[in-house]
């Protein structure tokens, strides 16, 4: 290729690169805002349990094993959509699924668990977004993966389905699962 051909092709190459960049940008979802909390300790919380108002749920529950903290609410259609998958995950995996019931009312939340089943070891009840704010929650559902030391390792925004579980969440769970010697 001589110099003149190279020079003539330059605009085309620049255009192609720009088009590729913009096309890539089109495929990004602006609703998925990366969380600055990943690889940081889970923010402290102290909330009543949804099922048992007398019981207090705190960060202590996160220690010792890998947990999924799933932010959910009865008013959230995507939460219902992912519910069956969460049931399945809780049933067949060595991971504790903890509910974070967010901006909901107790009767409606309990109603949903009664109707569709309860995948959660326990649900922390945060009707006023008191601690949701500290967790950077801005919608439901959101799912945090937290290692045995209480460090947030991953955050998934939107419903969890089989593909998300298998390709995104499970590898992180496996990676941080405490080694049994």
Partner 1 sequence: MTRPPRSLSLAAIALVGLLTSVNLSAYTLEEFTFEDEAKRDSFRDLIGKLRCLVCQNESLASSQAGVAEDLRKEVYRMIQEGQTDEEIISFLVDRYGDFVLYEPPIKPSTYILWFGPFLFLGLAGFLLFRALGRKKTEPEQELTEAERARLQRLLAASGNNQDTSE
With CB under 8 A as the contact rule, which of the stretches 30-38, 52-60, 85-93, 159-167 interacts with partner 1? 30-38
Q: Does 31 bind partner 1 (CB under 8 A)?
A: yes
Residues in contact with partner 1, counted by CB under 8 A, come to a total of 19
Exactly one of 30, 54, 77, 107 binds partner 1 (CB under 8 A); which one?
30
Q: What is the distance between the alpha carbons of residues 1 and 179, in angstroms, rounded to a whole number?
A: 58
Q: What is the distance between the alpha carbons of residues 31 and 171, in angstroms, rounded to a whole number?
A: 23
Q: What is the distance between the alpha carbons of residues 137 and 31, in angstroms, rounded to a whole number?
A: 13
Q: Which residues contact 23 (CB under 8 A, 6 or more apart)?
A: none
Q: Please report, as residue ranges, which positions from 130 to 169 form the binding site for partner 1 (by CB under 8 A).
A: 132-139
Q: Does 37 bind partner 1 (CB under 8 A)?
A: yes
Report, in Å, the least distance between residue 138 CB and partner 1.
4
With CB under 8 A as the contact rule, which of the stretches 93-101, 107-115, 125-133, 172-180 interacts with partner 1? 125-133
Q: Does 33 bind partner 1 (CB under 8 A)?
A: yes
Report, in Å, the least distance between residue 7 CB and partner 1.
10
* CB-nearer residue toward partner 1: 136 or 158: 136
Q: Does 43 bind partner 1 (CB under 8 A)?
A: yes
With CB under 8 A as the contact rule, which of the stretches 79-87, 127-135, 146-154, 173-181 interacts with partner 1? 127-135
Q: Where on the chain is the footprint of partner 1 (CB under 8 A)?
A: 30-31, 33-37, 43, 103, 128-129, 132-139
């Amino acid at each position: 290729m001589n110099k003149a051909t190279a020079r003539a092709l330059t605009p085309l190459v620049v255009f192609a690169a720009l088009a590729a960049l913009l096309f890539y940008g089109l495929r990004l979802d602006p609703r998925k805002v990366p969380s600055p909390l990943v690889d940081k300790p889970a923010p402290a919380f102290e909330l009543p349990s949804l099922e048992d108002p007398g019981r207090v749920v705190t960060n202590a529950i996160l220690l010792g094993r890998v947990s999924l903290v799933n932010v959910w609410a009865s008013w959230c259609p995507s939460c219902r959509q992912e519910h069956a998958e969460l049931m399945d995950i809780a049933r067949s995996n060595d991971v504790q699924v903890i509910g974070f019931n967010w901006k909901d009312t107790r009767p409606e939340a309990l109603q949903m668990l009664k109707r569709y089943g309860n995948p959660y070891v326990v649900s922390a009840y945060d009707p006023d977004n008191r601690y949701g704010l500290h967790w950077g929650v801005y919608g439901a559902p959101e799912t945090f993966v937290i290692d045995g030391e209480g460090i947030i390792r991953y955050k998934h925004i939107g419903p969890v389905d089989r593909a998300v579980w298998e390709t995104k969440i499970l590898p992180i769970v496996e990676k941080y699962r405490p080694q049994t010697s």
